[in-house]
Amino acid sequence: MSQPPVLKAAAAAADKLDELRAATTGVELTAHARRRLISAISAMQNQIDAIGRSVDEIGLPDAFFDPTDPRLVGYFVALALVAQERKPLASIGRFYGSGVYAIYYVGDEELYRPISKTETPIYVGKADPDGQPKTVIDQGTKLADRLNEHGKNIDKVEGINLRDFECRALAVQSGYQASAESHLIKLFRPVWNNETKILFGIGKHGDSSKTRANNKSPWDTIHPGRAWATDNREAKSVVAIKEDVAAHFTTARLYHTTNDVFAAFVAAIRSEDRIEQSDGDMK
């Protein structure tokens, strides 16, 4: 009895895979060639998985929830941060813990008026612990120290007032803060974060214009006052930066209430654990 053409094709593909395995045994590759080979094998694996799903009479569920998935843990940590009470940045004091935080603007500065008194943070970040601490006390005061550092920088410069800033902070088990920060940046696109590439620079710790040819960050251009940045040349004009900020607030999604934020998190988590079965899996 002759085999269906599809089984012959599968047998031929299996033979090709055997040839590939034999060709890779003991072969010496450059780092670049090795990366390309691994990428090609990964693409083939995705195609094989997609073919297997297409011929299986039993379908996959719409979603598969894995509570150990680092991506989902990051969402939950970020969501827990948003659930915390907001406090004045000027009076947070010191406390134990490393983790994630968000800073909010509540003042009347025209530049930031679109997000003032909303649930859209102006900046989010993380504070990493030293070593591998086992308890929140072992983590030291990294989170509070980072927030207080931001407060001192804000207090030094022009155009903004420290009393017009609030924050949320969440100490978390070491190792989860990076994923949570990534989700917060992706969701909120805070205008002060480096990743947004608009008004970044608050986190810089000092660039000497005498020892290195550094451009002044957009943050220091808009908010002069940090002594070490005074003599650095401006990479972009005040007018251009303000235009970029205005355009950002026009196109970015702004969150006005915590319900808006929670709804966005639910939608993101729902899409994160979806099992995709589209034709795109074959590409």
**Structural domain boundaries of the chain?**
5-59, 70-272
Which of 277 and 187 is assigned the larger pLDDT? 187
Please state the pTM of the whole predicted model: 0.74
Report how far residue 204's alpha carbon sits from residue 99's, in angstroms, rounded to the nearest whole number: 19
| Cα distances (angstroms) measured from residue 105 to each of 16, 218, 225 | 60, 18, 19
Spatial contact of 254 and 114, defined as CB atoms under 8 Å apart? yes
Percent over 70 (pLDDT), the chain: 88
Helix or strand or coil: residue 225?
coil
pLDDT digits (tens, 9 = 90+) for 29-73: 888 888 888 888 888 888 888 888 788 888 766 666 666 676 777
Which region among 41-45, 55-59, 152-156, 256-260 has the lowest average model confidence (pLDDT)? 55-59
**Residue-wise DSSP of 23-58:** HHTT----HHHHHHHHHHHHHHHHHHHHHHHHH-SS
From 247, 253, 146, 126, select the one nearest 197 (Cα to Cα): 247
* pLDDT for 209: 47
Tokens of 23: 């060709």
| Cα distances (angstroms) measured from residue 48 to each of 21, 55, 275 | 16, 11, 16
pLDDT digits (tens, 9 = 90+) for 188-225: 999 999 999 999 999 876 554 454 457 899 999 999 99
Q: Indicate the pLDDT class of residue 281, thresholds 50, 70 and 90.
A: very low
Residue 275 has pLDDT above 60, yes or no: no
